[in-house]
Amino acid sequence: MGHNMRALLIVALVGLVRSQQYFQEPEKIISETRKVGDTSGHYSFTYETEGGILQKEEGSRKYAGTPEETQLIQGSVQYNAPDGTPIALSWTADEFGTQVSGTHIPTPPPIPPAILRALEWIAKQPSTTEAPEEQPKSSSSQNAIPDQQYRSSQNKRY
């Protein structure tokens, strides 16, 4: 067997062994509840696996019976990462989008004081959404560019 063939065989065996981690049997569910609910979006489910995964989710209607009626989904999941770190996530999804929080999700650093002061100053400034005031039109054309400047540049080749 050539040197390249041995290297290829070793790489294939290492890949096979490593892939076993990703293609394990699913964990067995030790408890489970399901309430399918109705066609208007009410439901709930909970399950727990023998490996310690616990997930809960509930769907309901928010502002039921009003023009603003929308779906509301709330849920959570808890499990241990491969290194043993406990992970806990929770989420809410509604008309404002999905908000996720968790013990392992990074949070941004605090806003530096100088930036915070600048943001506060900007918030106190008058609104710039108002239409700009019309400037009175002057009868002089001192800002106009003479037409001949355009004509001469049109004949240039680049």
pLDDT in tens, 66-89: 898 999 999 999 998 888 889 999
Q: Is residue 57 part of a domain?
A: yes
Least confident among 7-21, 84-98, 104-118? 7-21
Number of domains into which the chain is organized: 1
Whether 157 shows a pLDDT value over 60: the answer reads no
Domain assignment present for 17: no
Token code pair at residue 112:
């530096």
Please give the pLDDT value at position 49: 93
Backbone torsions φ then ψ of 150, nearest 5 degrees: -70, -40
DSSP 151: H
Over residues 14-42, the pLDDT tens digits come to 665 555 555 667 889 999 999 987 777 89
73, part of any domain: yes
115, amino acid identity? I
Question: Greatest CA separation found in the chain?
Answer: 93
3-class SS of residue 72: strand
Q: Is residue 51 included in any domain, yes or no?
A: yes
Judge if pTM exceeds 0.85.
no
Answer yes or no: is 65 within a domain: yes
In a domain, 75, yes or no: yes
Does residue 4 fall inside a structural domain? no
Alpha-carbon separation of residue 5 from 2, 12, 13, 43, 70 (angstroms): 5, 11, 12, 56, 61
| Parent domain of 102 | 27-118
- Using the predicted structure, report yes or no on whether residue 3 has a pLDDT greater than 90: no
